[in-house]
């Protein structure tokens, strides 16, 4: 019998949310005001607890399972995302 934890389902597991955001963001550029499209994603559509990590950026090591980390390359495209 699997462990059942109230309030935790497969739909809201961090891995699923991470994969969902990977599908939405990887390969796109982030913009301040442009509406989301096939090549661009508007920052205002990201969750409130998101940090965009650019190459060479310093980040804290505190772990927040609800925080979305969006890693961008030098050209501004999203390379990958993670939660933590």
For residue 78, with 0-12 CB atoms within 10 Å meaning exposed, 13-18 middle and 19 or more buried, which class applies?
buried
Can you name the CATH fold of 10-83? Trypsin Inhibitor V; Chain A (3.30.10)
For the chain, the 3-state helix, strand and coil shares in percent, each to the nearest 5, are: 20, 25, 50
Instruction: Note down pLDDT in tens along the chain; length 84 residues.
Output: 455 555 544 444 567 899 999 999 999 999 988 888 899 999 999 999 999 999 999 999 999 999 999 999 999 999 999 999
The answer to whether residues 84 and 69 touch, using CB atoms and an 8 Å cutoff, is yes
pTM: 0.78
Per-domain boundaries in the chain: 10-83
Cα dihedral value 32, 48, 53, 57, nearest 10: 100
């Amino acid at each position: 019998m699997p462990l059942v934890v109230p309030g935790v389902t497969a739909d809201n597991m961090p891995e699923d949310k991470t994969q969902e955001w990977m599908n939405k963001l990887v390969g796109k550029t982030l913009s301040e005001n442009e509406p989301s499209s096939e090549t661009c994603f508007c920052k205002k559509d990201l969750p409130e607890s998101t940090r965009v990590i650019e190459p060479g950026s310093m980040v804290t090591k505190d772990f927040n399972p609800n925080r979305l980390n969006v890693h961008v390359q030098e050209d501004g495209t999203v390379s990958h995302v993670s939660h933590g």
